[in-house]
Every structure is written in C-alpha cells, then in structure tokens.
C-alpha cells in the first residue's frame, strides 16, 4: 500500500505506510514541540506591554523624534564652538562664561538625547501594541485549524479503515488534508513574519532603553559639573556683590512701579539707554577756536540718534530651552495675541540666555513666574519667563547659551519674548 500523506504537528507533510502506533519509531512519529513553541511565542507576545504610548499617531512620534535629534545635533555643535571659544578667551571672566555656556549646551544635548530615546521607545511600544492586537485577531482561526488537523492526524490509520466507507474515502480525506498544508503555511507565514517583527521590536526597545539610561547618566554628570562651575563663579563674583545688590534693588523697584510686563521692559529699556548714554559721554573738550566748527547738521544729529540701533539682535540667537513649540508669535493666547514663543521642555530642563548681553532683571514677576530679562546691544531685549529657579543676578554679563536657570518639574512651559526698543518682534527669523 502506498504511503498516505498526512499533516504533521509542525505543519509539514509526512508519510505513514502500514504503521500503527506500536510500530512507529520515534523518528517517524509526528513532532509536536514546534507547534507548542509557536503557540507559546504567540501567547508571550501578548504579555509584553510595558506602558501606554505617548503619541497618538506615528506622524506625531516621528515629528518629536526628528525635533529631538535636530536639537541634540545643534546643542552638540554649540558646545564644541563654545569650548573652542573658551580656550581662546583672553580674560578669566570671559573664559568662565564660555565654559558655563558650553556645559549648559552639553546639558541640553543630553536632554535632547533623552527626548529622542523616549520618542523611539514610545514609537516602538505603539507599534508593538498594534502588532499584538493584530496577532490576537489573526491567530484564533489558525490555532483552531491547527488543533483540528492535529486531532485528525493523531487518529490511527487502522481505525480509519475500520470505519464505514471505502478505502478511497480515507485516501481522499488524507489527500485533501495534504493539499491544505500550503494554505496553512501561507496563512501562518504572515503570523511568523509578525512574530519576527515583534522580536526585533523588543530588541530595539531594549537598545533604546540602554541609550536612555546612558543619556540620563550623562545628563546627571553634566549638571553636576555645571553646578560646580556656577559655585566657583559666585565665589569669584563676591567682590562685585555691592554693585550687583544696588542694581538688583533698582530693578525690583522698577518692577513694583511698572503696571505690567510691557511697562517693566520699557522702564528697563529707558534705564539701559540712559546708562549707555552716560557711559558714552566724552571727556572734557577744549573750546573750538571757531564756533562754527562745533555746529552739527540735522542729518548728522539724526545719524547720531540711530547709531546705537541694530537691525537684528546678536547672532546666533538661541531658543532658551530644547522642546516643542506650543505657541507661536502672534498666535491667540489667554491675554490676546502672543508676543513671543512658548516652548514645552522636559521637566527641570536647562534654560539658557538667547544671546550675549547683560542681565537687567532676575526675579519673580506676578503672573509670569520667575523671569530673566537680558539687555542686548542696539536696543534689543530678551525676556525669558516661567523659570522655577534663577541662577543669574542683575548685572551679570552672559553670552549666548549661558545658563540662566532651571524649568519647573512636571509639564512646564518656558516663554521667550524678543523686543526692539520695547516693541515685540518675532524671534523666529533670527534663530541660529
């Protein structure tokens, strides 16, 4: 009698010829372990959920990842530039400012790296969740079909021959089952591919979490270095504490007199302009022999009056934190139209100075949290709002990227306003 093809437990066709359970060898018996392993992997794949996805769509996750990667790259380039400038600085004060700014850039680089790793993990977890749902929906019919085939294949051939019906019915049934094997393989191939994808995603998630741990360690280390440097800066600045205290008192007095933030910035701008004009006053001059030599024409007076006004703020102009922009310039806000940008960083993120300048205000202000106002050359002013901690004092000279303080924990927002002669200006075109 010719061998009768049947479907084995592993989905393969095997042949039995005049074999009973007693005469079958271990090698000829159908193997059950591959199917058991297949079903165990399917079950395990449903138990690997670790957390809810952060993003509502793949596009949102990709956008967050791209933003974080770009911010990390820019922070790294800025830190390299500042470290080079620190090594070339001519004075100790300038060198210290550059070193602090470089460390702050390294902190922001690590923060952006953490954001990128978290975005990758969230995207992977989201894909794994969808894959588990798809596997759960598709594996049911395949498992039922496989169980039915298993049950039939375990039936001894002799018992099938003793049942009513001819041997042709038995051969036909076995042949029909043999022809179903390719279809079973085809239907299970998609499941196997998805299981392989699930295993790859699990490995990618483990790698991303390893990167996340490394970035977190780097962040902690760089924050420690920055704190130590800021401590040294404060100790070195004690000799100038008298002047700084007087300037701080004047700034707080202006804050009490100002009706709102616009008024405060305007008062500080006027105070800064007065200070610049007093500093620019020449020494005593000899009286000219001819009075007409001292006359100044109207165009010359107009030119002198606008000489200190720059057409753009100091470059490069930086965002104070790394994060997602939630409100743009001119967008509707609770107080009308936005005068600047609002950014959502990580909790406790490093906040930096947007550009080189001088701190003219650093204190809490009603309705804005702790704010820092930096006065730049040429009539430009930057206002950074929403800090939880301020690490600078009034009178401090800062460079672009110098640490200003720390954002609150939780889900903070940091706002930036750029003003020219007190009027809000869109900072986006000047970002470098």
Q: Tell me: the pLDDT tens digits for 133-157?
A: 877 776 666 666 666 666 666 656 5
Per residue in 370-396, pLDDT tens?
A: 999 999 998 999 999 999 999 999 889
Residues of the chain with CATH 2.70.70.10: 323-430
Output the DSSP codes for 142-164.
HHHHHHHHHHHHTS-HHHHHHSS
The dihedral built from the CA positions of residue 68, 71, 76 and 77, taken in this order, carries a sign that is positive
Instruction: Give residues with Cβ within 8 angstroms of 416, minimum separation 6.
Output: 319, 320, 340, 341, 342, 343, 354, 382, 383, 384, 385, 427
Instruction: Give residues with Cβ within 8 angstroms of 228, minimum separation 6.
Output: none
CA neighbor of 412 nearest in space, from 317, 321, 319:
321
Point out the residues of the chain with pLDDT beneath 70.
1-54, 138-174, 176-178, 180-181, 183-188, 235-310
Output the DSSP codes for 230-283.
HHHHHHHGGGGHHHHHHHHHHHHHHHHH-SSHHHHHHHHHHHHHHHHHHHT---
Structure tokens at 80: 């390299």
Question: For residue 401, what pLDDT is reported?
Answer: 94
Contact criterion met (CB below 8 Å) for 15 and 24: no
Between helix 33-45 and helix 167-236 the angle, nearest 10°, is 40
Question: For residue 299, what pLDDT is reported?
Answer: 42
Question: For residue 129, what pLDDT is reported?
Answer: 84
Question: For residue 58, what pLDDT is reported?
Answer: 78
Contact criterion met (CB below 8 Å) for 268 and 361: yes
CA neighbor of 138 nearest in space, from 195, 97, 53:
195
Helix, coil or strand: residue 380: strand
Cα gap 183→191, rounded to integer Å: 13
Cα gap 119→128, rounded to integer Å: 14
Question: For residue 319, what pLDDT is reported?
Answer: 95
CA neighbor of 259 nearest in space, from 366, 417, 341, 416:
366
Question: For residue 128, what pLDDT is reported?
Answer: 85
Contact criterion met (CB below 8 Å) for 212 and 132: no
Domain 323-430 has CATH 2.60.40.10: no
User: Phi and psi at residue 326, in whole multiples of 5°?
Assistant: -105, -25
Structure tokens at 12: 């393969």
User: Phi and psi at residue 16, in whole multiples of 5°?
Assistant: -120, 130
Structure tokens at 142: 């395949």
CA neighbor of 381 nearest in space, from 265, 255, 270:
265
Cα gap 378→375, rounded to integer Å: 9
């Amino acid at each position: 009698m010719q061998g009768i093809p049947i479907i084995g437990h592993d989905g393969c066709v095997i042949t039995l010829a005049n074999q009973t359970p007693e005469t079958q060898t271990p090698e000829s018996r159908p193997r059950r372990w591959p199917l058991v392993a297949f079903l165990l992997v399917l079950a395990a794949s449903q138990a690997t959920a670790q957390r809810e996805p952060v993003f509502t769509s793949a596009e949102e996750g990709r956008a967050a990842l791209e933003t974080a990667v770009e911010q990390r790259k820019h922070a790294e380039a800025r830190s390299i530039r500042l470290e080079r400038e620190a090594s070339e600085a001519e004075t100790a004060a300038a060198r210290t400012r550059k070193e602090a700014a470089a460390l702050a850039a390294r902190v922001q680089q690590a923060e952006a790296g953490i954001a990128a790793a978290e975005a990758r993990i969230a995207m992977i977890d989201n894909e794994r969740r969808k894959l588990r749902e798809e596997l759960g929906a598709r594996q049911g019919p395949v498992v039922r079909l496989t169980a039915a085939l298993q049950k039939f294949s375990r039936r001894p051939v002799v018992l099938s021959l003793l049942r009513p019906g001819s041997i042709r019915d038995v051969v036909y049934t076995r042949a029909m089952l043999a022809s179903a094997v390719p279809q079973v393989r085809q239907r299970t191939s998609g499941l196997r591919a998805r299981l392989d994808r699930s295993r790859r995603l699990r490995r990618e998630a483990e790698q991303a979490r390893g990167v996340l741990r490394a970035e977190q360690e780097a962040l902690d280390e760089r924050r420690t270095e920055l704190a130590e440097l800021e401590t040294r800066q404060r100790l070195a600045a004690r000799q100038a504490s008298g002047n700084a205290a007087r300037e701080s008192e004047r700034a707080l007095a202006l804050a009490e007199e100002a009706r709102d933030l616009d008024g405060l910035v305007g008062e500080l701008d006027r105070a800064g302009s007065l200070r610049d004009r007093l500093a620019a006053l020449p020494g005593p001059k000899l009286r000219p022999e001819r009075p007409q030599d001292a006359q100044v024409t109207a165009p010359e007076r107009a030119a002198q009056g606008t000489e200190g006004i720059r057409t753009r703020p100091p470059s490069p102009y930086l965002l104070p934190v790394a994060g997602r922009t939630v409100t743009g310039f001119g967008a509707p806000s609770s107080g009308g139209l936005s005068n600047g940008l609002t950014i959502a960083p990580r909790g406790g993120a490093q906040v930096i100075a947007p550009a080189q300048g001088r701190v003219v205000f650093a204190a809490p202000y009603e309705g804005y949290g702790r704010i820092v106002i930096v006065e730049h050359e040429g009539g430009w002013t930057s206002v950074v709002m929403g800090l939880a901690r301020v690490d600078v004092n009034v009178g401090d000279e800062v460079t672009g990227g110098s640490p200003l303080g720390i954002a609150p924990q939780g889900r903070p927002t940091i706002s930036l306003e750029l003003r020219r002669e007190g009027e809000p200006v869109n900072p986006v075109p000047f970002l470098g």
